Amino acid sequence: MKKPAKTIIFSLSVLLVISLALIVLIRAVLRYYESQPHIYEEDYPAIYQDQLLIMFGPDYQISEKETVLQESFYCGCGFRSDGYQYDVWKITYQDQEGYTYTQELNNMDTLEGQQIRMLENQLRDYYKQKYMIEPFPKDTFQDLSLRNPHGKSYCFIFSGNPVMSYTMDQKEEYDKTETAEIAYQKQLLQSLQDENHMIQFYRLNYRTIFRCFPLHVSMHFSIDDVTLMKEIQKDKTSVTVKEIRLIQDILSVMKAFNEESDYTCNLEVYINLDNGSKDLYDGTTSRNYKILCGEWFQEDSKDPYGSYDWQLFYAYEGVFW
């Protein structure tokens, strides 16, 4: 006996409602789990105990873990970040020069990748302390301290491809630098997984470091205008004389830096007054000096590839890429 048409339609409607309800429920469950942070639980200090000993030496100290929660977020620009939770340990150690460093180890990133970041951090603090802070009286430069890496006076360490920008005419050549960079980074990360090639931070040799990695150091000196005026009144000298002496002292620092690197360093120095808001004695807003592979460098404005970054890339062809 056939069911009435109304009964069939009602049954189909019920099934449709149930199906839609299930779809809504499944979507809600998926959204819930997507909103939950990915939790990294690996105990890195235990897993990499031997490797950390190689990297930081027998006297390093490690803190209790701190758990960090990064909640998921989505912005109107289309960028989305899933939430995650990871652990952080602070490692304290000394280098051969007697300087003390504190690095953060997390269990979210690979150990080989963190070695590159730690190298940049150690070099930044070492060069800032030795060549920016120690040679000059306190408050000569603005915001210059180890605790403040992003003040008006700072030191940056770049590792890898130095070419950061290009014109449309340089696009093809720039793509070659990116391809070379990817191949180099892949090889480097593989190498740092080997205990025989891990970076020994406590024994880091600053004399040979530029032979081991394609590094580029950038120092920015922002002269403190208030301190400068006080020194001028105290010494009864002119602004011109005081600034010239200070610039000469910075150039002497660059020479000492180059000598320590066994004349292999890549160093850019920028000097300005009050973060560039005031002119220097000669009417310019800033001075900059450059050393490339141990040689003082002047850019060739007529050569489209004569800038510091392009010439540094070419200098390392056949060496790192």
26 within a domain of the structure (yes/no)? no
Secondary structure (DSSP) of 11-29: HHHHHHHHHHHHHHHHHHH
Tens-level pLDDT at each residue, the chain (321 residues):
555 666 666 666 666 667 666 666 556 544 544 555 689 999 999 999 999 999 999 999 999 999 999 876 666 666 566 788 999 999 999 999 999 999 999 999 999 999 999 999 999 999 999 999 999 999 999 999 998 888 899 999 999 999 999 999 999 999 999 999 999 999 999 999 999 999 999 999 999 999 999 999 999 999 998 888 888 877 777 888 889 999 999 999 999 999 999 999 999 999 999 999 999 988 999 999 999 999 999 999 899 999 999 999 999 999 999
Burial letters 262-273, b for 16+ CB under 10 A, else e: eebbbbbbbbbb
Which of 82, 108, 134 is at the close of a domain?
A: 108
Residue with tokens 């009417």: 283
123 and 99 share one domain? no
Predicted confidence at residue 97, as pLDDT, reads 96
**In whole angstroms, what separates CA 305 from the centre of its chain?**
25
Domain count of the fold of the chain: 2
Domain membership of residue 150 (yes or no) is yes
The first and second tokens of residue 115, run together, are: 């070695």
Tokens of 123: 């070099």
Q: 208 lies in a domain?
A: yes
Query: Dihedral, CA atoms, 295, 297, 303, 306, nearest 10 degrees?
Result: 70
C-beta separation of 84 from 70 below 8 A: yes
List 157's β-bridge partners, or say none.
217
Tell me how far apart the alpha carbons of residues 12 and 307 are, in angstroms, rounded to a whole number. Answer: 73
Residue with tokens 């235990």: 46
Tell me if 18 is assigned to some domain: no
What residue numbers bound the domain in which 94 lies? 37-108
Report the alpha-carbon distance of residue 286 to residue 10 in Å, rounded.
81
pLDDT for 26:
59
